[in-house]
A and B are shown apart, each in its own frame.
Chain A
């Protein structure tokens, strides 16, 4: 039973409560760094590290931190992890760090991270909190990756820097420019709306069929 619950916390972040597509959180890094798949993955990994690390600490010390100063403590914890991620990326992959630039420190302001600390990690045991953080962060990473992949394929004719279509492809430059970010995410959200709409319709049909049967 216990195991199922932690699995459940993990899965919900990826699909049902996907932080980007369903909750529409963390939009700034979402759109700003997804002009190529590799940048999206780097940003997703950095966010993963920060979110899981902070959730672990917040949940472990949740009974020690007085609730009057909890937000300040959360922010200090998050900012520490972000600084660590920032320097690590700068040392290991300076090229990627240059591309992401100021958006790494801005992970601090990602409402997804503070939101999970307040809504989940500060209330549940460590194991569940870490599962929840991992689920949410994976959901965020997947969302970043899908947006980055779509934009890179259309805007550059490549994926992870590997050319896909050969010489004759005319790239849609607009897709890797800022408007492309807004448009792509808009269309993906549209798809999610449509999916939800169809599902509701289907459930209604099933309900109606059951009613007529009985």
Chain B
């Protein structure tokens, strides 16, 4: 045994001192690693978000974060914690294209989080990307692996609401073919979008009066912090 050979046990001062030193050193090490990795982590997250937004809104090359405050949609640099946020997508000259709206809800196994692109002018969903899910591999995970299901969201009317129908029976603009063998997961995705749309539709401004793109290049990219 190599533990300290003390006769009456070390004084409590020494115990406290040891813990304090250990805490201090560990705190400094943690702050050091946090500070040095933070820029990379922030950049990664911002890039992931940009990529997802650009994917669900074809033709978009600029974006900014929008929140609903005091009865109108406003542009923010950094949304408050827990504040629902959506992203406005703009094309190269800065014209408004559509919204990218995050949404989440219970899926087959666990919460599904997704982002969908919405054009308020046509009232059409134009793209959908699953951000997070733990659906069954081989079955439920087709909601992001099955190209024809994901592709089905590229032109989908939200009027009166999206309906998932049996594969191959799509006949209306608001219908989408569910995945065979993953009906519950497909319906969950549709329901999550419908619920998010219902919650947001009253808060979106009339088409044509969307918030203008702010001049600064980096708007919106800091939104994830």
Q: Which of A63, A73, A122 contacts B22 (CB 8 A)?
A: A73
Contacting pair A87 B34 (CB below 8 A): yes
Report, as a range, how many residues of chain B touch the other chain: 20 to 34
Interface string of B1-32 (1 = CB under 8 A from A): 11110100110001100110011001001100
User: Which positions in B face A, CB cutoff 8 Å?
Assistant: 1-4, 6, 9-10, 14-15, 18-19, 22-23, 26, 29-30, 33-34, 37, 40-41, 44-45, 48, 136-139
| Nearest residue, chain B, Cβ from A176 | B137
Q: Which of B15, B29, B37 contacts A80 (CB 8 A)?
A: B29
Contacting pair A69 B2 (CB below 8 A): no
Contacting pair B19 A72 (CB below 8 A): yes
Chain A residues with Cβ below 8 Å from B37 are 87-88, 90-91
Chain A residues with Cβ below 8 Å from B26 are 76-77, 79-80
Chain B residues with Cβ below 8 Å from A122 are 2-3
Q: Which of B3, B6, B33, B138 contacts A173 (CB 8 A)?
A: B138
Complex: A72 Cα to B16 Cα, angstroms: 11
Chain A residues with Cβ below 8 Å from B30 are 80, 83-84
Chain A residues with Cβ below 8 Å from B137 are 155-156, 173, 176-177
Chain B residues with Cβ below 8 Å from A90 are 37, 41, 44
Interface string of A53-91 (1 = CB under 8 A from B): 000000000111111111011001101100110011011
- A124 CB-CB contact with B under 8 Å: yes
| Nearest residue, chain B, Cβ from A69 | B15
Chain B residues with Cβ below 8 Å from A84 are 29-30, 33
A/B interface sample: 5 pairs, CB < 8 A: A62-B2, A64-B4, A72-B19, A72-B22, A123-B3
Beta-carbon contacts under 8 Å, A145-190 to B: 155-156, 171, 173, 176-177
Interchain residue pairs A-B with the least CB separation, the first 10? A80-B26, A91-B37, A91-B40, A173-B138, A66-B10, A87-B37, A67-B3, A84-B33, A76-B22, A94-B44
